[in-house]
Amino acid sequence: MATTDAISLSPKIKRHKQYTLVIPLDLHGDRVLLGYKLRGFGQGKYNGYGGKVEPNETVIAAAVRELHEESGLLVEEPAMIQRGVLLLETVADDTSPILEIHVFTVETWEGTETATDEMTPHWFSLSKSLTAPTKSTPVSGSIPPSFLSTSSAAEAGGVEESQPHPGGPHDLPVIPYFQMWEESRVWLPHLLRHVSSSEEGRGGVGGNLISPEPSPPAATAASDGDRNETENKGKKYFIHHVQFIGGTDMDAVDGGEYSVWHGMGPRRLDWVDELPIGEWEGRKSFKTYP
Ligand SMILES: CNc1ncnc2c1ncn2[C@@H]1O[C@H](COP(=O)(O)OP(=O)(O)OP(=O)(O)O)[C@@H](O)[C@H]1O
């Protein structure tokens, strides 16, 4: 199935601003960890853990550092599993940078998720969050306190042993996609399906907790410019390119949100064998695409 080609990047004239985004996955517990952002860019939304790549820092080092700073989880660089890149472009403005967000998952770590002044940790059900949400998908508007990570979880000494949800992982809520950045509704279910189907293939996911890969509604798949999922089998990385339309003032904060992010325009999501990483302003970065 062809992708929609109604979108093409113009990175030659745009700077890239690099960010990281790390999603901890407890595959045996069928759980996904997200943080609720308490301040700054994305305040009031759930997201993975991450931040800006500092000058002279590699993307992977930034991913490790930000995960630790914001969640308390400690990983070594090789434990970071690179999953893809988000390229978020503001079409109305040639001067604002393309956000180049490098997405990783981690499946093993040291330490326990802790609340920081930037993010509060929340676990969600992995198997219940595999389908692209629609407005009618039940979302967890308010997260019951029992789902919050507590100091008792911390005292239990790690994810394997902790019991933050007494009813078991199946009591965990669906990821609240409508309380995330808009474009996460598109790529995150794809990524979770990709991870769970490849884990299933290896017989790796805890006790068949992952249900068979659902097919997204045809209309959703087509409008997201996504390839047929069976065609993507075996491809390792996703590229999600989104053009946002609307305001572009990065300094304009309105109720905690940057006004620039209010409209998701053309977009495409592709799975690829290799990420076309090249040089950008002297550092490894995302190359012209496609
Ligand atoms: C617009 N659509 C988006 N979709 C998904 N994720 C998005 C995003 N836009 C930004 N992000 C993530 O949000 C974090 C911001 O990080 P941010 O707090 O600004 O960085 P950092 O911690 O370095 O800043 P301070 O040190 O607090 O200034 C960082 O993980 C980045 O990947």
CATH value at residue 19: 3.90.79.10
Evaluate whether residue 165 is within a structural domain: yes
Q: What pLDDT, on the 0 to 100 scale, is given for residue 206?
A: 39
Nearest to 149 by CA among 28, 29, 63, 64: 29
Evaluate whether residue 268 is within a structural domain: yes
19 CA from centroid of ligand 1 (Å): 7
Q: Look up residue 234 and give its DSSP letter.
A: T
40 CA from centroid of ligand 1 (Å): 8
Phi, psi for 62 (deg, rounded to 5): -65, -40
- Ligand 1, atom 8, residue with closest C-alpha: 181
- Ligand 1, atom 20, residue with closest C-alpha: 51
Indicate if ipTM > 0.90. Answer: yes
pTM of the entire structure? 0.78
Q: What pLDDT, on the 0 to 100 scale, is given for residue 74?
A: 98
Tens of pLDDT along 76-94? 999 999 999 999 887 776 6
Tens of pLDDT along 25-69? 999 999 999 999 999 889 999 999 999 999 889 999 999 999 999
Q: What pLDDT, on the 0 to 100 scale, is given for residue 45?
A: 95
Long-range contacts of 259-266, Cβ-Cβ distance < 8 Å, separation of 24 or more? 260/90, 260/96, 261/181, 261/182, 264/182, 264/183, 265/91, 266/4, 266/6, 266/7, 266/225, 266/242
- Cβ atoms < 10 Å from Cβ of 60: 17
Q: What pLDDT, on the 0 to 100 scale, is given for residue 145?
A: 32
Give the span between the Cα atoms of 23 and 90, in whole angstroms.
25
Evaluate whether residue 90 is within a structural domain: yes
7 burial type by CB count under 10 A (0-12 exposed, 13-18 middle, 19+ buried): middle
**Residues contacting residue 251 through CB under 8 Å, at least 6 positions apart:** none
Q: Give pLDDT < 50 ranges for the chain.
A: 1-5, 11, 139-164, 203-223, 225, 248, 253-261, 289-290
Q: Does residue 260's CB lie within 6 angstroms of at least one atom of ligand 1?
A: no
User: Which is it for strands 46-47 and 119-125: parallel, antiparallel or unpaired?
Assistant: unpaired
Evaluate whether residue 283 is within a structural domain: no
Evaluate whether residue 10 is within a structural domain: no
Total domain count for the chain? 1
- Cβ atoms < 10 Å from Cβ of 130: 25
Q: Does residue 42's CB lie within 6 angstroms of at least one atom of ligand 1?
A: yes
Evaluate whether residue 290 is within a structural domain: no
Evaluate whether residue 234 is within a structural domain: yes
Q: What pLDDT, on the 0 to 100 scale, is given for residue 225?
A: 44
Evaluate whether residue 186 is within a structural domain: yes
Q: What pLDDT, on the 0 to 100 scale, is given for residue 65?
A: 98
**Which domain range does residue 262 map to?**
15-273
Please say whether the dihedral angle defined by the alpha carbons of residues 38, 41, 47 and 53, taken in this order, is positive or negative: negative
| Atom number in ligand 1 closest to CA 41 | 19
Q: Does residue 47's CB lie within 6 angstroms of at least one atom of ligand 1?
A: yes
Q: What pLDDT, on the 0 to 100 scale, is given for residue 124?
A: 97
